[in-house]
Amino acid sequence: MQRLNSHLHSKKNPPYAINLDPAVLKVPYGTHIDIRDSIKYKKVMENYQLGPNGAIVTSLNLFSTKIDQVINIVEKRQDNYKYCIIDTPGQIECFVWSASGSIITESFASTFPTVIAYIVDTPRNTSPTTFMSNMLYACSILYKTKLPMIIVFNKTDVKKADFAKEWMTDFEKFQQALSEDRELNGEGDSMGSGYMGSLVNSMSLMLEEFYSQLDMVQCSSYTGAGFDDFLNAVDKKMDEYEKYYKVERERILKEKAEKLENDKERSLNKLMNDLGIKDKNGEKKKSNVDDEVEVLSDYEEGEHDGIILRDEEEDYVEREYTFPTSDREKGEVNESTEPDLQKRYQDAFESTAKPVSGETAKNIARYISQ
């Protein structure tokens, strides 16, 4: 981040810099927005009694509640800056697989052309198995975020990444390197008695299609070499975002909006049907049978879906209900007592009901019609 920031300044094209790592002690570049200004990492650890990773996730959760304000600030500055560079926590799991990480990424990706840069430590990836582990990480991030990605092999001043480019483009070269690694370390050591070798072979075949979707660049944060190639790859991925990813994201958002609208319509139709409210044509509003909300009875077996009509039942007995009355301890509701019960209901209603003014009745009718 420091070298990229410095490189862009040297090109007279300074970026808008954001730091989202709450646990970093020192940021070697000037930031416009810093999560540490609003979230105190050590206080989060103390107050919530968390470890380092848990405190990072919690800090991101707290910060993500204000992400709309961050987006608004960046939007106001977008005419003055071509690039906005964002430094995320080095712990991949804390950011990529957390809810707050998804919220932050989605918020930026839905507003600006967004590109993911996955940084690989080149000297530590000379082993085929370690290299494959990193590629699986990159693959998971790509399919989690669904955003354009660039694989950046850093520290090329220590070790050139030509071997990695060969492994990503030539399957036979990777197989050869895997075989040499097995011979060097012995069958029972690094390769786990042949099991790991078989697994890595299968993974390399599976990731061949994954490699075709990536841009791979080499750079050195120490010397500054390769950063022009990185910026060219970013520009290319921005065009790719506009052409493919943005269209796909808009399609997904449109489907979600349509589904939400359909759900609201079904709920409204069901409510109007239950209340017996009529539509504009004076007909009773009915919800589409196919759109009805499914209930447990929909899954019951039988010719009538578990519903038995009274005239189909054998030896049907009219159910009698009892309730306490003032005249006697219990009384039965039947044909002889029903008129008396109705009279008591009417008397009780008239004694407790409040009169409704004409204006109130009109408002109630207008609310129901709406």
pLDDT tens for 2-39 read 999 999 999 999 999 999 999 999 999 999 999 999 99
Give helix then strand counts, H and E, for the chain.
15, 8
**Mutual angle of helices 171-185 and 128-145, in 10-degree steps:** 130
Contact between 176 and 170 (Cβ < 8 Å): no
Q: What is the mean pLDDT of residues 125-148?
A: 89
pLDDT in tens, 210-261: 888 788 999 999 999 999 999 999 999 988 888 888 787 788 878 888 888 8
Q: Longest C-alpha distance within the chain, in Å?
A: 101
> To which residue do tokens 């071509």 refer?
82
Whether residue 192 is predicted with pLDDT greater than 50 in this model: the reply is no
Model confidence, pTM: 0.66
Burial 204-223 (b: 16+ CB within 10 A, else e): beebeebbeebbbbbbbbee
CB atoms inside a 10 Å sphere around CB 75: 11
Give the separation between CA 164 and CA 169, rounded to whole angstroms.
9
Strand partners, 33: 18
Residue 14: count other Cβ atoms within 10 Å of its Cβ: 17
Phi then psi for residue 150, to 5 deg, are -120, 130
- Token pair in block for residue 304: 């009538």
Name 290's bridge partners.
none
Q: For residues 65 and 101, give the distance between their C-alpha atoms in angstroms, rounded to a whole number.
A: 11
Sheet with 16-19, side-by-side order of all strands: 33-34, 16-19, 84-87
pLDDT tens for 30-68 read 999 999 999 999 999 999 999 999 999 999 999 999 999
Residue in 83, 115, 73, 112 with CA at minimum distance from that of residue 15: 83
> Using CA atoms, how far apart are residues 155 and 226, in angstroms rounded to an integer?
10
At residue 29, the pLDDT reads: 93
* pLDDT average, residue stretch 327-350: 57
Nearest-angstrom CA–CA distance, 4 and 234: 12
Domain residue extents for the chain = 113-187+197-275
Is the per-residue pLDDT at 190 higher than 60?
Answer: no
Give the separation between CA 56 and CA 62, rounded to whole angstroms: 10
Task: Give every CB contact of residue 359 below 8 A, 6+ residues apart in sequence.
Answer: none
Residue 59 sits at the vertex; the CA angle it makes with 54 and 65, to the nearest 5 degrees, is 130
The predicted-structure confidence for 281-337, as pLDDT tens digits, reads as follows 555 554 444 444 444 444 444 444 434 444 444 454 444 444 444 444 444 445 555
CATH number, span 113-187+197-275: 3.40.50.300
User: Strand (E) positions, the chain?
Assistant: 16-19, 33-34, 84-87, 116-121, 149-154, 215-218, 322-323, 331-332
Using only the alpha carbons of the chain, give its radius of gyration. Answer: 34
